Amino acid sequence: MAAATQRQARSAGISYQDLISRDVVPPPRTLTLENRFEGPPTTVPVSRYTTQAFHDLEMRNMWPKVWQMACREEEIPNVGDYTTYEIGSYSIIVVRTQQGFRAHHNVCRHRGRRLCDADGHASSFICPFHGFSWNLDGSLRSVTSEWDFPHIDKKNFNLSAVQCDTWGGWVFINMDVKAEPLAKFLGDLPQHFAVWKPESRYIEAHVAKVMGCNWKVCQEAFMEAFHVIHTHPQILVGIGDENSQYDAWGNFSRAITPNATPSPHLKFKPTEQELFDSVTMRYLDQPALGEVPAGMTARAMMAAGGRMGLQPVVGDDTPISDACVSDSIYYTLFPNFHPWGGYNRIVYRFRPYQNRFDKSVMECYYLSPFAGDRPAPAKMHWLEEDQPWTDAPELGLLAKVFTQDTFNLPKVQLGLEAAQYDEVVLANYQETKIRHFHHLLKNYL
């Protein structure tokens, strides 16, 4: 009875579960799960996006107390390799040691200079100011003019500790040393990704861009398919935007938007060929990339093509379902980490830019499977606010999709800052992930 009620409170189009029940190769069990989020809120205060005071509250009460993805393991492959993760005024060193990954506040314990100015390799961290040094594990190595510091307890003069743990090839940090372990924070998320083996991917591309909006304004544009109808109309024929399924569990949420199926918003019923042409971005003056055979669906043809390309890479022992190569399966781990499921390569991360409430950094990684030796990870490609996404051609067509999103986002920020109302109103179902995010955020405030 409960399930029937849930189904009624959604679009009139085919449900995602009904759609995948007709697929040629069935999906993994986790894609058959449904867990609708019924909790509050359905409104969010505008001030969460538009005030330095709320930004400062997040900096004080959330960012120092929550697990965050800091880097990929492959970015610091050798003992002594380190990177820095910046969030607001905080800077964290993440380093690979003989004993595993460690993280420390990037602050000299003497007079406070940042220890590391850039990513690199070290056998110890030496402060460029007076030369105090620390071992990779954060323990004190040397004090310059040690005779002058009889008051230092050397056993308690380590770099300030930060929790550090890994999952799926990602390295996570938490500045709260008393916080729950990462595994508990993740909950069932690793089970959802087990079949896709994110630890066996490499960074094929990594692009970061300064965005002219609050970090939540930016991230929330990538947490629903509700905006496709007006922001990405060119793909509407072949995307089940309003058929998307939205779920939430613990600290993570998920949306699944089916592809090669028509949008319920359409006033006509596209043919299977039109669905295929839409998904393959066919202009009217271009030939089709393929002809959908009679009796076959565009979805089945897309899935068969995807399997053909991927099977040699992921191996024959991994069944590749239609859904895993066709659909947009986008998870969000609170607060700002967005790994996509299936064999889509996308991973997003959103952060405030420096310490500003009205600027953010949006990052897009392409994590790709590979056969043979692990390829070297791509270096981050930084785009300033005035640079178009198409300056990062390694993103392919997604750069043009982001251009459409970016056309909206600074104007959302401008509008919110001028709003004559107090609360943003969220859709009950299609904006589930945003509601779930703000539900969790409240716990930190």
| Residues at the contact surface with other proteins, assessed by CB under 8 A | 229-234, 236-237, 263, 265-267, 276, 278-286, 289-290, 301-302, 305-306, 308-310, 325, 342-345, 388-391, 393, 396-397, 399-400, 403-404, 407
CB of 312 to other proteins, least distance (A): 11
Structural element, H or E, at residue 362: strand 360-369
CB of 284 to other proteins, least distance (A): 4
Paired tokens of 119:
């990513």
CB of 277 to other proteins, least distance (A): 10
Sign of the Cα torsion 155, 159, 160, 161 reads negative
CB of 236 to other proteins, least distance (A): 4
Q: Is the Cβ of residue 306 or residue 352 nearer to other proteins in the bound state?
A: 306
CB of 39 to other proteins, least distance (A): 33
Residue 420 sits at φ, ψ, to 5 deg, of: -100, 25
Q: Is the Cβ of residue 153 or residue 384 nearer to other proteins in the bound state?
A: 384
CB of 345 to other proteins, least distance (A): 7
DSSP E strand stretches across 199-310: 201-211, 245-249, 252-257
Q: Is the Cβ of residue 116 or residue 325 nearer to other proteins in the bound state?
A: 325
CB of 33 to other proteins, least distance (A): 22
Q: Is the Cβ of residue 148 or residue 285 nearer to other proteins in the bound state?
A: 285
The stretches of 145-280 forming alpha helices (DSSP H) are 182-186, 189-193, 215-220, 228-231, 272-279
* Per-residue DSSP letter, 101: E
CB of 392 to other proteins, least distance (A): 9
CA distance 11 to 198: 32
CA distance 244 to 257: 4
Q: Is the Cβ of residue 83 or residue 278 nearer to other proteins in the bound state?
A: 278
Give Cβ neighbours of residue 164 (< 8 Å, ≥ 6 apart).
70, 94, 101, 102, 103, 171, 172, 173, 174
Beta pairing, strands 201-211 & 381-383: parallel
Give pairs for 90-95: CB < 8 Å, separation 24+: 90/63, 90/64, 90/175, 92/162, 92/173, 92/175, 93/125, 93/159, 94/70, 94/164, 94/171, 94/173, 95/122, 95/136
Q: Is the Cβ of residue 281 or residue 425 nearer to other proteins in the bound state?
A: 281
Residue 375, preceding bond cis, omega within 30 degrees? Answer: no
DSSP E strand stretches across 26-177: 43-45, 68-72, 81-87, 90-97, 100-105, 120-121, 124-126, 133-135, 140-142, 161-167, 170-174
Q: Is the Cβ of residue 101 or residue 343 nearer to other proteins in the bound state?
A: 343
Q: Is the Cβ of residue 125 or residue 348 nearer to other proteins in the bound state?
A: 348
Report in angstroms the alpha-carbon separations of 107 from 63, 134, 252, 310, 343. 17, 11, 32, 45, 39
CB of 329 to other proteins, least distance (A): 12
CB of 445 to other proteins, least distance (A): 35
Q: Is the Cβ of residue 90 or residue 343 nearer to other proteins in the bound state?
A: 343
Q: Is the Cβ of residue 177 or residue 397 nearer to other proteins in the bound state?
A: 397
